[in-house]
Amino acid sequence: MKFHVDFTYRVQDREKLLSFLHSGGLSAEGPAKVLGAWLAVQSGKGYAMIETDDSTAIYLMCSEWAEYGEVKVTPVIDATRI
């Protein structure tokens, strides 16, 4: 299943967040595969697409981001395959 992850971060934590992400915070290894992640640097927002069948894996991944701001996870389906 695929999940759309919206997250916010505090502007003062931007460098700390970028360091976390560059050091493997969005590792593609394990049960949760990161399909892509993007930051809107000036607005303190970002989003990611993650694929996993393990709800615990997405919870653990997103709980690490929660220290930087709010995280919202939404399950999504491919509308072109309905």
pTM over 0.95: no
Q: According to CATH, what is the number of the domain 2-77?
A: 3.30.70.1110
Task: State pLDDT tens for residues 25-64.
Answer: 766 567 888 888 888 878 889 889 999 999 888 888 888 7
Name the one residue in this structure whose structure tokens are 């999504």.
Answer: 76
What sign results for the dihedral spanned by CA atoms 70, 10, 36, 59? negative
Strand, helix or coil at 53? coil
Sketch the domain layout of the chain as residue ranges.
2-77
